[in-house]
A and B are shown apart, each in its own frame.
Chain A
Amino acid sequence: MADQGRPSDDLTISGGGSVAVASDWLFADAGDLDQAHHELRGAALALAAIDRAVGARLLRGADAPVSALDAEREIDRARELVADCARRAAAIALVLRTAATGYGVADDAAARLAQQLAAGLGYSVGALLPLVAAFVAPALSPLLGGLLLAAILAPGAAAKAPGVLGDWLADNNRLLTNPVTVALVRAGVMSIDDVIGGALGVPSSVVAALGDEGAGLTGLGTSAGLFTAIGARFGLLAETAVATRARTQGDVSSAPQGIAQRIDRIPQRYTADDGTKQGAHVRVERYSVPGAPDSFAVFITGTADFSPRSGSEPFDLTSNVSSMVDLPGISDLPSGADRAVRQAMRDAGVTAASPVQFTGFSQGGLIAATLAASGDYNTRGVVAVGAPTAQLELGAEYPALLLEHTDDIVPALGGNRTDDTAVLVQREAFADRATPSGVAVPSHDRDEYRHTAELADAARSPRLVEAIDRLDDFGRGATSITSTTYVAERVSR
């Protein structure tokens, strides 16, 4: 039976330049065993040196007591035992690492296989779409007529239809908060281009050759581009100009240490009771160190408006889709949210040479990773929390940390991971407990991610510890820290 209160605290660590995938404690155990191996090997050498210093010849020459010779024999025995322990510790650590690597390789192979199967299935679904449409079309007229009649007779109920769906999902959120659903969403996202190829009648071999399973020329980015192009015909997903202004400014006593403190500094945008938008989108902290150029930490909020029609909110669904577009000629403009962050950074004094670290939640995490990987900035680290970053390739020259819940569909919207440079920390947020009612995607909750961040901060996996240490080094030694928050809005259609 599910436990209502206890969160599942097992972290799975992967990436960091390695294919190995395992729980935090497994990597921590392997690290402890490595440490034991080094210490015990040193101890065995020390025992050998002690043994040599007091040789049997010296003792016999001095007519030493029998206990001295017994001590020498005991030292010999201890040396052999310690050397054996060192070998055993190294062997167990190797087995653990091999198991983690084997699991990672198998996981990767399974993901590739699933992607190929999903692509094949997606192509078939796409190919059958015209046929399905032909069968469904005759039934659509009475259905739409009925809906129209219902809307005339009960206009309130029809208007509430999307809300009803949302309410139903909120009350049945186990369906969405589920690693299986997440895997299906990930596979589905990766096969959208195959569905489109099938629907357009493109030969399956061509679709496979161009897609993620082949040359990678088409995929999630081209699908997002097509959605943008189609949406534009109906006035949806349209990018606009964006204006950004500073909202508040103040001094901060210290730079964040650990991931949880970073999440605390991500601004939040919310709708107040009176319907007005409150809070900020971006927070830029300026770290001043005497004799060194100022460095900056940028914290970016998540999606604040899920409507496909662009309003005044730049952190919206349009920006979500635009951020993923990779199709020449379609939406060459970066997303509104991307431009808002760049404007805020420029206003705060960030130049191409300024050392900068990015942290973001959800869409903010995607923007953070996109800016970090853009090459436009002197990136010194990135933390993306609950963000669809899987298709981005982050640099190995700076620490990159991704936090994802395996039962959160939002990161899955980024598709399958393409590189293992960043350290990926995963947790199933609702593995052993019931989901709260009234929330559609509770595993995407910021507080849940904050708990994951606390676990990550306390974790002992060497790769994770090193990544967090490198991130924390960034703001150390700052003698003055100024924080500025920014609000952005779309200013025209």
Chain B
Amino acid sequence: MNHASPRFSRSQNLCVTFDPASALDPARLEARLALAAQSAALAGLLDQLERSRSRLPSGAPTAGWRGPAQRAYGASVRQLAAHLDEAVDAVRGARALTARAVATIDAHG
């Protein structure tokens, strides 16, 4: 596997910093950039899903509606909420795995 030379740059406070991404071969660099973008996209999506989850109706009985039909409706809404919780967890998991993959690539070069 070809390893490009690590690049060093001078920051404003004259410290020399190391950019691990630039140390990778093109294929790994492409994968790393794609995974970083994926992580950012998943973070945005996670916020959106959590907002959608918070706006779901509670399905709780009200003074004007009780009985079997209300219970069926309440159960449907709670089931939907549970599924969405699972989906949110899956996105959160995907984001964590993506971050881990980026960190692994950075660590191993």
* Most chain A Cβ neighbours within 10 Å, of B65, B91, B93, B105: B91
Do B80 and A89 touch across chains, with their CB atoms under 8 A apart?
A: yes
Do B69 and A99 touch across chains, with their CB atoms under 8 A apart?
A: yes
> For this complex, into which size category does the number of interface residues on chain B fall?
35 or more
Do A71 and B101 touch across chains, with their CB atoms under 8 A apart?
A: yes
Contact A65:B105 (CB < 8 A) given known A36-B52, A40-B52:
yes
Do B80 and A92 touch across chains, with their CB atoms under 8 A apart?
A: yes
| Number of residue pairs A-B, CB distance < 8 angstroms | 137
Partner of A68, one of B86, B87, B91, B101: B101
Partner of A81, one of B27, B34, B83: B83
Among A25-33, A283-291, A306-314, A391-399, the one that faces the other chain is A25-33
Q: A47-B45, A74-B94, A74-B97 are in contact. List 5 more A-B contacts (CB 8 A).
A: A43-B52, A62-B32, A65-B101, A82-B84, A82-B87
* Most chain B Cβ neighbours within 10 Å, of A32, A71, A89: A71
How distant is the Cα of A67 from the Cα of B38 in the complex, in angstroms? 13
Write the residues of chain B forming the contact surface with A, with a CB cutoff of 8 angstroms: 1, 27-28, 30-32, 34-35, 37-38, 41-42, 45, 48-49, 51-52, 55-57, 59, 62-65, 69, 73, 76-77, 79-80, 83-84, 86-87, 90-91, 93-95, 97-98, 100-101, 104-105, 108
Q: A77 interface residue, CB < 8 Å from B?
A: yes
- Nearest first, the 7 A-B pairs at minimum CB distance are A62-B31, A68-B101, A78-B90, A71-B97, A81-B87, A74-B94, A65-B104
Partner of A8, one of B31, B52, B63: B63
How distant is the Cα of A63 from the Cα of B38 in the complex, in angstroms? 17
Using Cβ atoms and an 8 Å threshold, which residues of chain B touch A32?
55-57
Do A53 and B48 touch across chains, with their CB atoms under 8 A apart?
A: no
How distant is the Cα of A40 from the Cα of B49 in the complex, in angstroms? 7
Using Cβ atoms and an 8 Å threshold, which residues of chain A touch B93?
74
Do A88 and B52 touch across chains, with their CB atoms under 8 A apart?
A: no
A-B contact pairs, 15 of them (CB 8 A): A10-B62, A23-B65, A39-B52, A50-B45, A54-B34, A59-B31, A64-B105, A65-B104, A68-B97, A70-B97, A74-B94, A78-B87, A78-B91, A81-B90, A92-B76
Do A88 and B38 touch across chains, with their CB atoms under 8 A apart?
A: no
Do B41 and A46 touch across chains, with their CB atoms under 8 A apart?
A: yes
Do B94 and A75 touch across chains, with their CB atoms under 8 A apart?
A: yes
Using Cβ atoms and an 8 Å threshold, which residues of chain A touch B42?
50, 75
Contact A35:B105 (CB < 8 A) given known A8-B63, A67-B100:
no
Which residues of A in the span 315-373 have a Cβ within 8 Å of any Cβ on B? none
Do B55 and A50 touch across chains, with their CB atoms under 8 A apart?
A: no
Q: Shortest CB–CB separation between residue A72 and chain B, in angstroms?
A: 8
Using Cβ atoms and an 8 Å threshold, which residues of chain B touch A26?
65
Q: A58 interface residue, CB < 8 Å from B?
A: yes
Using Cβ atoms and an 8 Å threshold, which residues of chain A touch B51?
39
How distant is the Cα of A32 from the Cα of B81 in the complex, in angstroms? 13
